[in-house]
A and B are shown apart, each in its own frame.
Chain A
Amino acid sequence: MKTFVIGLATVLSAVGIAQAQGKTAAEGIAEYRKMLEDGNPADLFEVRGEALWKTRRGPKNATLEQCDLGRGPGVVKGAFVELPRYFADTRKVQDLETRLVTCMETLQGFSGAEIAKTEFGRGEQVNVTALATWVAAESRGLRFALPQGHAEERKSYEIGKRVFFYRAGPYDFSCASCHGEEGKRIRLQDLPMLTKNPGDGVGFAAWPAYRVSNGQMWGMQLRLNDCFRQQRLPYPTFGSEVTIALATYMGVNAKGAESIAPAIKR
C-alpha cells in the first residue's frame, strides 16, 4: 500500500512538473512510466498471477498449467496478443479473462457463473485479474495478431464494430463519441482513436493496467465496464457478448501494435 501511495504522489508531482514545463499530461505520465521502469505495481499482480497458475486450487485441487489459452494446453507466451479468439470446446469467442474463468471451471472445478457474478476486486475476480496480468506480461513486446479465420471471429468483429458506434442513453454517447477521432482529449486526458491501430502500447495494447489514480489493477473487462459507466449506459455483465465483441474489434484494429501490458495508467 505504501508503494501505491508513494506512486500516486510521484505521478501527481510528475504531471505537475510536466505542466509547469509546458508539457502535456501525457508526456508527464510517460515520464513517470520511465521513472518507474522496473517499479510498476502491476509487477506484484504479475508475480501473484504466476503463482496462482501453478498452485493447486479449487474443488478439484488442480493447477491451471494445462489451460489452453488458444495456442495449446499450457502455452502462455504469445497467447495474449491473439485474444479474443474462437475456442472449439466452448464454441465461443473468448477474451483472456473469460477464457481463464473457463479453465478455472474445467480444470479446478470453480463455478464460472459464480465468478462472473462476483464484483470486480472481490473473491475469485481478484485472482482472475492477477492471472490475466501475468498472462499478458508473458506477451510483453509481442505484436497483436488476432486470428480472424473462423466465422465466429469475424462475426465478433462485426458485432463489435456495431457496438462501438451504438449511441444511446441520456447523453447520446457511443464509444465513438470519445474514441472515433484522432488527437482528442477529455479534460487533459488524451483519447486513443480505436477505429484503427492507435500505435504501440496504446489503447487495447496497454490493458491490463495498474491505475495510479485509484491504486487498482484493471483488466480489459473492468476497463470496458467503466467506459459504459461513463457513457451513462447500464451495467455490462462480466464476459457479456458486447464486451468480447468490442475487445475483438479493438484487438483486430490494433494488428501489429506492440503490447506493453501490464501498463501503468493515470
Chain B
Amino acid sequence: MNASIPLVFATAAVVAVVIGCGTKPAASSQDLDREAQAAVKASFRDEGIAKTDRLNQDLGQSACSSDKPPPEAVADQIMSEARASVKWPANGMYFGDWREGEKLAQNGRGMTWTDPSTATSANGGNCYNCHQIIKAEISFGTIGPSLYNYGKNRGVTNLAAPTAQGVIEYTWMKIYNGKTSNACSNMPRFGHAGLLDQRQMADLMSLLLDPKSPVNQ
C-alpha cells in the first residue's frame, strides 16, 4: 500500500491542475466525499443474504477508506475498540483440531450473495487466499504474511507452557479481530463480524500453534 501512495498523490495532483484550468469552480474534496457516499447508497440493491445495510461503515471501515492512513488518534481509537471487542474462549478452550483447521483454511466460501446462509457453519476461513500456511499447499495468496512455521518461529513447543500464553492470546485476538494491532488491517474480523464460531477459531489456532500441526514441521 505504501508504495502506491506517491503515485496516487501524483495522479491527484495532475487532476487538481486540470480542474484548476476549468471554467466551473472545482467541487471541494468534501463535496466529492458526499457525492461518492450518495453514489454508493444509490448503486446497490439487496441480493440473497447480501443486503444493502452492508454498505454502512463503522469507524474503522470509514477511517480506512482512502489512500491515506487515518490520523494516529483515530487509529488508536480503532485499535482500542477492537481490543475491547474480543471475546475470549469459554473455559480457556483455545485449541481444537488442526486437521479441521486446515479444512477451514482451505475453504474460501462464505457471505457472498450466492452463499445460502450467513451461519458460521456456511463459512470457511479463506486463509489460503492470502497466506502461505502448510508447506505442501502451493496454491496460496500473498496479501498476508506467510504463516508457515507460525508457532515454531515463535518458540511454541508446548501449548500448556506458561511461556506460550502470550503468543496464544495474541493469535486468538488477531483471528477474532485483526484491527487490535493494525487499525487498517486487510484481514476480516472473523470473531467480531460473526464469520467463525469459537470452535472454528480454536481449530485454526491448532493449525497455527500445535507443535504437531504440519505448519510447525
Residues of A within 8 A of B (CB): 19, 148, 151, 154-155, 157-159, 161-163, 165-174, 176-178, 180-188, 191, 193, 195-196, 228-230, 232-237, 240-243, 245, 253
Contacts and interface: CB of A to CB of B under 8 A. Distances in A.
Contact of B24 (A151, A157, A178): A151
Contacts of A162: 32-33, 36, 65-66
A83 B186 CA distance: 31
B113 A187 contact: no
Range class of the B interface residue count: 35 or more
Given A186-B143, A242-B40, A166 B32 contact: no
Given A171-B111, A172-B193, A195-B8, 10 more contacts: A151-B26, A158-B27, A162-B33, A165-B67, A169-B54, A171-B188, A172-B189, A184-B143, A232-B110, A240-B39
B139 A188 contact: yes
30 contacts: A158-B15, A161-B67, A163-B39, A165-B67, A167-B65, A168-B55, A168-B56, A169-B111, A170-B194, A177-B186, A180-B4, A181-B3, A182-B4, A185-B142, A186-B129, A186-B130, A195-B4, A195-B8, A229-B50, A229-B112, A232-B111, A233-B50, A233-B55, A234-B47, A234-B51, A241-B39, A242-B40, A242-B43, A242-B44, A245-B39
B128 interface: yes
Q: Describe A's contact surface by its main secondary structure.
A: mixed
B143 A234 contact: no
A188 B143 CA distance: 11
Contacts of B24: 151
B92 interface: no
Contacts of A176: 1, 67
Interface string B26-44: 1100001101100110111
Contact of B44 (A19, A154, A171, A236): A236
Given A159-B35, A167-B64, A234 B52 contact: yes
Nearest to A167: B61
